Amino acid sequence: MTKQDNRSVYETGQSPCFEIATMNQASRLASPVVELRQYTLKPGQRETLIGLFDRELVETQEATGMTVIGQFRDLDRPDMFVWLRGFEDMETRKDALTAFYGGPVWAAHRDAANATMIDSDDVLLLKPAWQGAGFDLSGLCRPTATEAENKSRESRLSAIVEIEIHHLRPGTQADFAGRFQMQAVPQLAANGARLLGAFISEHAENTFPRLPVRTADNVFIAVTGVDDYAARHAPAAWRTLLEKARTDLTGPTEVLRLSPTSRSLIGQ
């Protein structure tokens, strides 16, 4: 499916589920390059940004060749908006971001979006931690705007996505990821969680310097999903692993407890 084909799907009003289900590019579905973006917003502005984002900035970004993987409310920080987007490779990232941020949609909505924000530069550039560790988006279905409006707040909160960011010494990412894959992943299902993806820092040159990324960070990130809202309080399955690997860690683990918006692709 070409980029022009993608645009025609959106313009004809067909369900986003159709577009996701029929994309024939496996790399697009697995997102070999991922941005984790955390935005600090002005007090009380999160719902304003989410409304704008879900209505105007999902399909329009994807029409340029990127994938909006998920967008979330941070459950512990009421003025934080967290989202993920993916790319086939760094060159595609450059082309897609150039097209979107230089195009008419962002020009029409950037003032309204920027008016909600204090800081949008907290961005980690990532790649899958091992083969097959990226997000598998095949078969997922994003609700249409109409469907999203009909979803209750309770149903949105029934699924939780948790992101753990482990800060590591340079050169330890591969070993940490290998131990996690062997020791922690088998425990997740037993504890009622699903590993949605695992990533390490992508240290390639930022191909779109207009948007900064945290290039000095060296991280391992685990993204898990839990269906039951109450189950988010369960202890993480890999605490023993972290204790054994503490010499590899350079700082405290960041834990993001996230509620997907009604149009998030992952976490539904």
Residues 214-251 have pLDDT tens digits of: 999 999 999 999 876 555 444 555 667 777 778 899 99
> Could you give the CA distance from residue 190 to residue 84 in angstroms, rounded to a whole number?
26
CA atoms of 184 and 177, how far apart (whole Å): 10
**What predicted TM-score, i.e. pTM, was given to this entire model?**
0.87
The residue type of 12 is T
Torsion of CA 23, 25, 26, 30, to 10 degrees: -80
Closest residue by Cα to residue 263 from 97, 34, 62: 62
Q: What's the average model confidence in pLDDT over 1-22?
A: 41
With a cut of 60, say whether residue 127 has pLDDT above it. yes
Lowest mean pLDDT among 31-45, 76-90, 149-163: 149-163
Residue 169 φ/ψ, nearest 5 degrees? -65, 145
